[in-house]
Structure 1
């Protein structure tokens, strides 16, 4: 009643599918190991003074990121031979974590220069764009056709992880006596949070992660508030605060004169 060739064909397709999944999973497991190692190296930033980043931290970070890049490129080569949306759920979380490590490494002053302007950028505090992340990994970003790429959602999710880690770094920077770094982090996460408010996100999971950025902002604001109470803010910040107070006083005086 049923042609046995039907099931023979289905069996062949199923076996081919299993072989593809096994090949991808092997690369993804390697990426997971690489990311875990890179995160371990980056965790040293919480106990490393900023002046020692170039010698004690960034060389190891860049070497670890290079291993991630090689694995992602291998994944892209294999995955591009198969339907993207059939398999991308297998690697997206690990790719987000890899993007996060590159974002943090670049923010700390690592990752090779990607453009001619990079030499004029500050050593700490650089935010890589989605396109620059694609250049680091050597893979396309946010493309329309069905091929391996870095999706916008993966980049945005990595940004939320970056704010969480910087919130922790702000607290540890103060412990190391680096109030200036805490102030710089405060400005950065506030600008990042403001940028997120411009997005109209449809992805429920991503929207929840973006909503959580405000907690990182509050954490850093608490650190800056404690520094201000103890009079430990950098001189530049104190001057800015005094200038704002003077400007406010002048405005109040001007309003009173206008009223009289």
Structure 2
């Protein structure tokens, strides 16, 4: 019987590489699981916005949310230190979902406090990690993660619009409507290559319609604040059909 001409050391070396990859994966997963667990706490706190009056968001939402997010930021720093020792795109699928969830929480908290978009640069500064790095193989925040998180933020604000009305806050849907319309217009400027992101961005138009319906219903009931931007007139809230209502028509609409 002919002797094998394959050196067993080849497979021993392959097994050593497999073992090393397994060790790296386990080390990363341990941190990611902690990040996921704390992320559920943060999202649970933020979910209170749907049954908490706007004036009470500070003690009920912002303060406990801040503490939870600080814990997540610490975990991201630990994750970054470990992940930066290894090829980014080999392992980033392990943590990208949790990063999207954290970015979503940051964006939502920022909007609730300021009614404006938290930019990707602001998110990167808050997390203490670089963004969209191309010249080094280190842990960083990707544009796709930021944009996917933004679609989640839009979904949550769309859900908040009718719930705010239930809580007696009739100005909140107007704020949400303007914000979502602006984001929708921004997404239309993007040439997206990521299929998942493109599908999620296409859904923003449905969010715009849902919030417009809430605004339109408020206008029918005469519950809209008297001072509002032209973007949120009843005619536009109905989908933009026909000519915009005149100032006199708007006053009659509100009184009726």
TM-score bracket, normalised by the shorter chain, equals 0.7 to 0.9
- Equivalence for 1:198: 189
Tell me the number of residue pairs that the alignment of Structure 1 and Structure 2 aligns.
234
Match of 1:8 among 2, 12, 16: 12
Q: Give matches, 1:199-238, under 5 Å.
A: 199-237=190-228
Unaligned runs of 5+ in 1: 110-123, 250-260
Matched, 1:103 2:117: no
CA RMSD of aligned residues (A): 1.9
What's 1:149 paired with? 140
1:19-44 CA deviation, whole Å, 9 max, x = no partner?
Answer: 00000011111111111111000000
Question: Following TM superposition, by how much is the alpha carbon of 1:245 offset from its aligned partner in structure 2, in angstroms?
Answer: 3.8
Shift of 1:54: 1.9
SS in 2 for 1:235: coil
Match for residue 43 of structure 1 among 39, 43, 47: 47
Matches within 5 A, 1:22-171: 22-109=26-113, 124-144=114-134, 145-171=136-162
Q: Is the 8 A contact 1:76 1:148 kept in 2?
A: yes
TM-score by length of 2: 0.87
Q: Deviations over 1:214-238 (max 9, x none)?
A: 1111110010010000010011039
Q: Deviations over 1:150-174 (max 9, x none)?
A: 0000000000000000001111000
Checking the alignment, whether the CA contact within 8 Å between 1:37 and 1:64 is kept in structure 2 is yes
Q: Residue 172 of structure 1 aligns with which residue?
A: 163
Secondary structure of the structure 2 residue equivalent to 1:28: helix
Alpha-carbon contact 1:62-1:105 (below 8 Å) kept: no
Shift of residue 181, structure 1, vs aligned partner: 1.0
TM-score by length of 1: 0.86
* Moved segments of 4+, more than 6 Å: none
CA-to-aligned-CA distance 1:72-98 (integer Å, 9 cap, x gap): 111111000000011011111111111
Larger helix share, 1 or 2: 1
Q: 1:19 aligns with which of 11, 20, 23?
A: 23
Give distance in 2, aligned partners of 1:197 and 1:148: 29
TM-fit CA distance, 1:247: 7.0
User: What stretches of structure 2 of length at least 5 have no aligned partner?
Assistant: 235-243, 250-256
